[in-house]
Copies of this chain bind each other. A is one copy, B any other.
């Protein structure tokens, strides 16, 4: 046992507390699964009322079992679980899968039973999976552990699955099975009271036979720890995840059935931060996993296409190009060779149409040329099996060529797999990832390229600014919090921004009309005058905002009117009026357990109607801040469009990073909005801002 989870994933013996002689009961199905999947160790059914289950001797209690037990299932009703955990401890059992449901998901009573079980397990150093879960599977032929009540018996392979929802996990496992793709390990941990998704991902990460990890999670107990662990893993092997709850309705359904933190944006951002490939479709995810677990990672996005049929290559190109992949032309050298080796009717381009009559020699040459052309990073193959071609020999050439090369190959394999079972077997044996449709093969290839992007991305360096004044901010926040205030005044907000060296249009907070005039003269006209009060949030609705005030006379009138209408107690924010150029919005929103979500967008319609915004979790590094700015659709406006000058991107990046640091330093800041900033070619200044605690 070289890992604390080995007792779970590599048990030498398994007991089933609550084993049953009744067919179709969970306590029977698990015994059946262990036996049918040919578990390599002994199985001990525990049931005080029967002597034998499925031919195995049953014991009244784990304490009666003669040998050692690594792992126990518990399938009895919740009230009896804690005591059985205690027995497991006494027996020296190292891991327990509590399949039984009816714990914290059912309310306080269940929560108490869950806590009790966990406390007893901790006492003995037992690790618990569940409760309310399926369990694990390990297809390693030396282990063959099927500690689960599901029904799919995976062949050995290189993809490992971890799913919070057993339903989704089972679907994915079945999908790989239906595709004829082997799997390595499987785990579904339900309520996740002890063994976490993060630990399982880490465990898979260390397993040499696991080449790709598939993840389905609707929530995470400790997202920051998850990010740290997953980042280490994705540097070595890909993690693929479904983003669940990406719509509000979906998130709501997720919350109602798991009772935890949900929300599409944060899960997506967590995945992004960890270098996880996210998918909105299970089908796409499974197909990508097949390619990622069998093929080398391409060095770039340039694809060479070999096809023996026309229409599917049109569809493939549409999909590849839509995904941002490139299809560079053949070199003259390549054309010269191919003109010799191809049939006359072949089309010597990229796509290289070898035509339907092409045999092994044509495919061999096509692969040799495409693999040796330096401008291609990967090979996309359309292979239909014509009844008039020796397809098995073609398949052998494809496999040999792919093995000899260092570039990934994906194949849209168009056939009747029963009739062409020989050809199919050769491609499978040769680990050529085969897909039924041109689009799916193209998307699987795109996932390889995405993973290349993750692996080769420049590290995003998080800058620590030391020119800031943390104490000033702390004192403002403490004062506000001590008075139970949630909305900061403009004066407080601007003081905080200035403490973090975030450029603000020159401003002053004053009390009297005379002071307004003085301040305006000092700042320089034109100015904006706003009533500044913690009571007034929507200032413009009550006549508390006046912009573009040209001179001191007007300033005086405005201030007097506001005093009259809003009361003598108000303060005034006097601020430099900046002519509109490009408006930006930068925001921060606290997200439970993951710090803040930082947002960037262009002002007005771009954010409000087109939802053209970029998000990133704190801490936002330099590369990430650049990505945020360049990833919005309206980015050309930032660069300068139609003679427009564009904005100072370096300053925008810096503001994003300073806001990120402010959020990290002060988790009490619940929401911060710089809306808008006015951005010019040289300077960027906040002209309105809001902070909520």
Q: A residues engaging B (CB < 8 A)?
A: 24-26, 29, 101-102, 106, 149-152, 163-171, 174-175, 177-178, 216, 218, 242, 244-250, 253-254, 256-258, 264, 280-283, 309-315, 317-322, 327, 345, 347, 349, 351, 353, 382, 384-385, 387-390, 414-417, 419-420, 436-440, 604-605, 608-610, 633-634, 636-637, 641-642
Which one of B151, B242, B440 lies within 8 Å of A385 (CB-CB)? Answer: B151
Q: How far is the CB of A350 from chain B (nearest CB, A)?
A: 10
| Complex contacts, A169 vs chain B, CB 8 Å | 311
Which one of B315, B415, B440, B610 lies within 8 Å of A633 (CB-CB)? Answer: B610
In the assembled complex, the Cα of A151 lies from the Cα of B319 at a distance in Å of: 26
In the assembled complex, the Cα of A415 lies from the Cα of B177 at a distance in Å of: 11
A165/B24 in contact, CB under 8 A: no
Q: From A282, which residue of chain B is reached at the shortest CB distance?
A: B437
Q: From A24, which residue of chain B is reached at the shortest CB distance?
A: B388
Q: How far is the CB of A389 from chain B (nearest CB, A)?
A: 7
- With A414-B174, A416-B151 known to touch, is A605 a contact of B637 (CB < 8 Å)? yes
| Complex contacts, A605 vs chain B, CB 8 Å | 634, 636-637, 641
In the assembled complex, the Cα of A254 lies from the Cα of B177 at a distance in Å of: 35
A245/B25 in contact, CB under 8 A: no
B249/A327 in contact, CB under 8 A: yes
Assembly stoichiometry (copies): 2
Q: From A29, which residue of chain B is reached at the shortest CB distance?
A: B387
A250/B283 in contact, CB under 8 A: no
Which one of B256, B317, B385, B387 lies within 8 Å of A149 (CB-CB)? Answer: B387
| Complex contacts, A244 vs chain B, CB 8 Å | 311, 314-315, 318
| Complex contacts, A414 vs chain B, CB 8 Å | 167, 170-171, 174
A322/B253 in contact, CB under 8 A: no
Q: How far is the CB of A642 from chain B (nearest CB, A)?
A: 7
In the assembled complex, the Cα of A38 lies from the Cα of B193 at a distance in Å of: 61
A436/B310 in contact, CB under 8 A: no
- With A24-B388, A437-B171 known to touch, is A165 a contact of B312 (CB < 8 Å)? yes
B168/A245 in contact, CB under 8 A: no
Closest 8 CB pairs of A and B: A165-B311, A167-B309, A250-B318, A168-B311, A247-B321, A257-B310, A167-B311, A250-B317
| Complex contacts, A174 vs chain B, CB 8 Å | 414-416, 436
> What are 13 A-B residue pairs whose CB atoms fall within 8 Å in the complex?
A24-B390, A151-B385, A167-B384, A171-B414, A174-B416, A178-B436, A249-B318, A258-B310, A280-B439, A282-B438, A282-B439, A283-B440, A608-B642
| Complex contacts, A327 vs chain B, CB 8 Å | 249
| Complex contacts, A249 vs chain B, CB 8 Å | 317-318, 320-321, 327
